Amino acid sequence: NEEEKIFLTDRSRIIDFQHCPRMRYWRYEFGGLGIVPINFAIPLAVGGCVHKGLEVVCQFVIKNGNRMVDEIQLDYAVQRALMEFDEICLKRGLALDIGEDSGFVYYEQKAQIEALIRAWAMVRLPHLLLFYKILSVEIELLMKLWQRGKLMSRPDLVMQHLETNKIFIMSFKTAK
């Protein structure tokens, strides 16, 4: 029943709609799912895999009582991210420019994913833990906007400041 249908949206859908309503339709609504490109854009694939690795790192931090990860846990987080990259490459492939060496790009991106996860865990995470307690990682939230409209959100981290107890949200961003 159309009157009972719940309208779900999120940040990406809102931004696309503001840019071009037709773009939002083609990306998210057409055929119930939107049009999914055959190949995966390299920056999106790398960003998603780095996210996966950082998610695993932060889950270990919570299990460790808000303390740093050890080398075995960090290695595991990197391996999970690299396995996800392999799955993307096998299922969808990467969108390469004409003349690009796919083998070189593949290994270059795997090295970049590993480097970004390890650098964040060794440099940024210790500083973060001096001031914040990580409460949750990748928790799904639905917030009511109106009677049948809901905003979907999945913050990368929900954290609590150690001195003020204020709650903060952190979003991981990678850029080309």
Give exposure, 50-81, as e/b (b: 16+ Cβ within 10 Å): bbbbbbbbbbbbeeeeeeebeeebbebbbebb
List, for residues 11-50, the tens digit of each pLDDT value: 888 888 888 888 888 888 887 777 766 667 788 889 999 9
What pLDDT is recorded for position 165?
97
The whole-model pTM stands at: 0.79
Q: Give me the residues of the chain with pLDDT under 50, please.
A: none
What pLDDT is recorded for position 135?
97
Distances (CA, A) of 31 to 3, 22, 25, 27, 70: 20, 14, 10, 10, 46
CA 91 to mean position of chain CA atoms:
19
